[in-house]
Amino acid sequence: MNDLLPILGISLGLTLLIEGAFSYITGICSGKDLLLVFLVNILTNPAAVLCYYFFTVYTQLNVFIIKIPIELVVILIEGLYYRKYASSIHKPFLFSAFANALSFGTGLILNAIF
């Protein structure tokens, strides 16, 4: 449990960096929409990390049986926020899916390396 806070911080920091860069690269240059991307990730990332942490610590379930549904819920929640509040994100669920796939994939690679 002592390692949870650094995990939350590193995960959120990397997610904000990766998804923020992805947003900028894909043309999300509006300050309001970039702020929305950061706020939505501040909402969803810690919740996803906590869910994953507690499911893996307190159950014997396979990692991907836990990660995939959590990521799908995150994509859905973020997509709903983007659809409702963003002005320059025209395909909010597709944007959310790609941004999350990029940060999720980066996390898998970093976890395998370290």
Mean pLDDT value across residues 77-104: 97
- Percentage, residues of the chain above pLDDT 90: 78
User: Angle at which helices 4-25 and 92-113 pack, to 10 degrees?
Assistant: 130
Alpha helices in 26-91 (DSSP H): 31-58, 63-85
In this prediction the pTM is 0.91
pLDDT given at position 1: 61
Q: Which domain holds residue 85?
A: 4-113
CB 68 within 8 A of CB 58: no
Question: Domains in the chain: how many in total?
Answer: 1
* Cα dihedral sign, 66-108-15-100: negative
Token digits for 114?
């370290």
* Nearest in space to 84 (alpha carbons), one of 33, 43, 45: 33
**17-65 confidence digits (pLDDT tens):** 999 999 999 999 889 999 999 999 999 999 999 999 888 877 777 777 8
45 compared with 108, residue with greater pLDDT: 45
- pLDDT score of 11 more than 90: yes
pLDDT given at position 47: 97
pLDDT given at position 14: 97
* Nearest in space to 82 (alpha carbons), one of 41, 36, 24: 36
pLDDT given at position 114: 85
Token digits for 31?
């300050």
